[in-house]
Copies of this chain bind each other. A is one copy, B any other.
Amino acid sequence: MSEDLESYRLAAREWLAANLPTVDGGGARLGSDDEAWQRARELQRILHDGGYAGIAYPKEYGGRGLTPAHQRVFNEESAGYEMPLLLNVPTFSICAPAILDFGTEEQKREHLPAVLRGDEVLVQFLSEPRGGSDLAGAITRATRDGDMWVLNGSKIWSSGAYAADYGICLARTDWEAPKHSGLTMFIVKVHQPGVEVRRIKQVNGDSEFCQEFFDDVQIPASDVLGEVNGGWAVASRLLFHERTAVGGGSPYVSGGHAVARVPEPDLVELARRGGRLDDPGVRELIAESHILRTVAGQLVDRVSAGIRGGAMPDPAASLPRLFSATSNERRIDIALAVAGPAAVIPPAGAPGDLGARYLMRQGGSLGGGSSEMARNIISERVLGMPREFAADKGVPFSQVRQSQTPG
């Protein structure tokens, strides 16, 4: 087996050198525009044609049917090459695995090969404007009408929806059932009448997240994913895949990182530029930041191994998630302290992105479920502590109190 991996590694190395362009230092090419998405699809097609798409996906759905270890080997080798990282989250590591878990044979055959060829990009339609982290409180509704369902409502925080082909969409189909029992998951074509996708501008200028508005959108009954009124099981699985991916443990991620990373600010350089590299206080801050980053990686390794080997339960994936969210907050605070006023009022010609990062400091705790949700999961599902009292438990959803304000 390990010899097999070694020869696989050598073959991959050779293929990569022959077929993919390299990229400089910072790693992957960033992008949140149509061009970047187009490029990701092209790159994925190259991988697919070379036999390196969906390495750990089953053969019958367009994958290679190999082990996660093969994918890891390939990922190690692909470092330094231009890779379609935009497709990792949510397409490869969250949405497609859920189709694999819950899809009908037809759905799998329709979507998975297309995904692995780079022909289909998927997105999650889970969060709602009034919902926050209470995903099961969805009030977007789907009503049965003959062979079709009719979808109305709105979803939000879907990353890259404007560039996606299908959204995995959670909608309420029974208002008299308790909240978790009246939900159904649909595979919704994004570009069709009645779907409006609006990009949301964030404080750092990015507009990768979207809000969608559904106005009598027609969905064929065959596009239900999982059971009617069994949508929460699918959503839970999506969340599991998301935690795993964000925690760095997904077997379906292709390329070095789950997501295209913004390069880290170089604190040593920042301090040097500010003439403060000899200050012991500043040096300790620089070290603290490095220590947090190092330990974050070590924790990912430990928990991934723990879950793989059965020593830790699946929800332990929330541990590295929480660590990376909270330590990133601390690290951006440190970067600000090291840079001083130049961080927020950059001298003419100097890069001004540190301030914008600081404004987005909570990004890591908001994406993929907040740090609060992670703490709930760890205490309840890792430590086994009693669940929070839920006022909406066992109550017909039509009687549950809702937020006063959207947002």
At the interface with chain B, which of A30-38, A200-208, A279-287, A292-300?
A: A279-287
CB-defined contacts of A284 to chain B, threshold 8 Å: 281
Interface size, A (range) = under 10
Q: Assembly of this chain: how many copies?
A: 2
CB-defined contacts of A389 to chain B, threshold 8 Å: 389
Q: How far is the CA of A280 from the CA of B280 in the complex (A)?
A: 7
Provide the main secondary structure of the chain A interface: helix
Q: How far is the CA of A280 from the CA of B278 in the complex (A)?
A: 11
Chain B residue nearest to A389 (CB atoms) is B389
Determine how close the nearest CB of chain B comes to the CB of A334; give it in whole angstroms. 14
Determine how close the nearest CB of chain B comes to the CB of A23; give it in whole angstroms. 38
Determine how close the nearest CB of chain B comes to the CB of A125; give it in whole angstroms. 32
CB-defined contacts of A279 to chain B, threshold 8 Å: 280
The residue among A279, A280, A284, A389 with the most chain B CB atoms within 10 A of its own CB is: A280
Q: How far is the CA of A405 from the CA of B389 in the complex (A)?
A: 25
Residue interface mask A378-391, B partner, CB < 8 A = 1: 00000000000100
CB-defined contacts of A280 to chain B, threshold 8 Å: 279-281
Q: How far is the CA of A284 from the CA of B279 in the complex (A)?
A: 12
Interface residue ranges of A265-305 to B (CB < 8 Å): 279-281, 284
Q: How far is the CA of A301 from the CA of B281 in the complex (A)?
A: 33
Q: How far is the CA of A389 from the CA of B386 in the complex (A)?
A: 13
Chain B residue nearest to A281 (CB atoms) is B281
Interface residue ranges of A8-46 to B (CB < 8 Å): none
Interface residue ranges of A382-405 to B (CB < 8 Å): 389
Q: How far is the CA of A389 from the CA of B280 in the complex (A)?
A: 49
Chain B residue nearest to A283 (CB atoms) is B281
Determine how close the nearest CB of chain B comes to the CB of A213; give it in whole angstroms. 33
Q: How far is the CA of A279 from the CA of B280 in the complex (A)?
A: 7
Q: How far is the CA of A284 from the CA of B285 in the complex (A)?
A: 13
The residue among A281, A284, A389 with the most chain B CB atoms within 10 A of its own CB is: A281
Determine how close the nearest CB of chain B comes to the CB of A149; give it in whole angstroms. 38
Determine how close the nearest CB of chain B comes to the CB of A397; give it in whole angstroms. 21
CB-defined contacts of A281 to chain B, threshold 8 Å: 280-281, 284
Q: How far is the CA of A280 from the CA of B284 in the complex (A)?
A: 11
Q: How far is the CA of A224 from the CA of B281 in the complex (A)?
A: 60
Residue interface mask A322-347, B partner, CB < 8 A = 1: 00000000000000000000000000
Residue interface mask A219-244, B partner, CB < 8 A = 1: 00000000000000000000000000
Determine how close the nearest CB of chain B comes to the CB of A298; give it in whole angstroms. 24
Q: How far is the CA of A233 from the CA of B280 in the complex (A)?
A: 55
Q: How far is the CA of A381 from the CA of B280 in the complex (A)?
A: 44
Q: How far is the CA of A281 from the CA of B280 in the complex (A)?
A: 6
Determine how close the nearest CB of chain B comes to the CB of A72; give it in whole angstroms. 40
Q: How far is the CA of A284 from the CA of B284 in the complex (A)?
A: 12
Chain B residue nearest to A284 (CB atoms) is B281
Chain A residues within CB distance 8 Å of chain B: 279-281, 284, 389
A-B contact pairs, 6 of them (CB 8 A): A279-B280, A280-B280, A280-B281, A281-B281, A281-B284, A389-B389
Q: Which 6 A/B pairs are nearest by Cβ-Cβ distance?
A: A281-B281, A280-B281, A389-B389, A281-B284, A279-B280, A280-B280
